[in-house]
Amino acid sequence: MSNGGGNMAVVVRKLHRAYRMGRSVLRVLRGVSFQVHRGEFVAVVGASGSGKSTLLHQIGLLDRPDKGQIVLDGEEVAAMSAAKRNAVRCRDIGFVFQFYHLLGEFNVLENVMLPAQMSRSTLGWLMRRKSRRREAMELLERLGLSDRIKHRPQELSGGERQRVAIARALINRPKVVLADEPTGNLDSRTGEQIMEVLSEFHRQGQTLLMVTHDAALAGRAERILHLHDGQLKTK
């Protein structure tokens, strides 16, 4: 179902999310609303526990909000069925996490190709496997990982693992890449290299939404939103 959106990649309207913890209720998101233009790089900054990761999980369709709307590229997605949400998540959203989440039993190339394989039927994958492999190889070459394609994640440095995760996030040419503390598990020099990689893809037109507690990293974005106790605050 189309829900407008114009030039917006992401529209969040009055998003609420709470979790029951024993007899108490923890209200993590309390009426969050904002928009991200296509091709924009937006950072959400907040202290630990402010709701940053929960917000990203809602937008990335990893969890459902209690109330509110999420519109991706003009389509309301929060109320979709599980099957449709899974399809949209695989096709239109790329994820870069702090802890990489690479599969240890797969090599670098296989990890990168996994979202492309999951987005196709078995027959569709067999028909496009060679072209998607070529695309994965091109991405890995751009990221300086051509000599690592047969290595397992445990054989790579932290920076190399995160570059593999970035390639995996981009393989389906997503409408938006969601980055959750993408440098949080790296030293400052390697973290700066990863931010430069993300910034370069943004300069080429990729929409990025990043959450971080690091104001210096957020300064790489075009726009910064401040999340405090589940609400966006103006500075």
Question: In this model, does residue 50 exceed pLDDT 60?
Answer: yes
168: number of CA atoms within 13 Å, CB side?
A: 28
pLDDT at 225: 96
Which pLDDT tens digit goes with each residue over 205-224? Answer: 999 999 998 888 899 999 99
- Cα–Cα distance between 80 and 110 in angstroms, integer? 30
Q: By the 8 A CB rule, do 31 and 16 touch?
A: yes
From first CA to last CA, the distance across the chain in angstroms is 35
The whole-model pTM stands at 0.89
Q: Give the chain's radius of gyration (CA, Å).
A: 18
With helix as H, strand as E and coil as C, how does 34-97 read? Answer: EEEECCCEEEEECCCCCCHHHHHHHHCCCCCCCEEEEEECCEECCCCCHHHHHHHHHHHEEEEE
Question: In this model, does residue 5 exceed pLDDT 80?
Answer: no
DSSP code of 154?
G
Q: By the 8 A CB rule, do 78 and 12 touch?
A: no
- Strand order through the sheet with 75-76: 24-37, 8-21, 67-72, 75-76
Which pLDDT tens digit goes with each residue over 134-172? Answer: 999 999 999 999 999 999 999 999 999 999 999 999 999
> Percent of the chain scored above 90 by pLDDT?
76
pLDDT at 79: 86
pLDDT at 1: 43
- Domain parsing of the chain, residue ranges: 38-64+80-233
pLDDT at 2: 45
pLDDT at 130: 86
Closest CA to 92 of 74, 113, 78, 72: 72
Which pLDDT tens digit goes with each residue over 39-48? Answer: 999 999 998 8
pLDDT at 154: 96
Homologous superfamily assigned to 38-64+80-233: P-loop containing nucleotide triphosphate hydrolases (3.40.50.300)
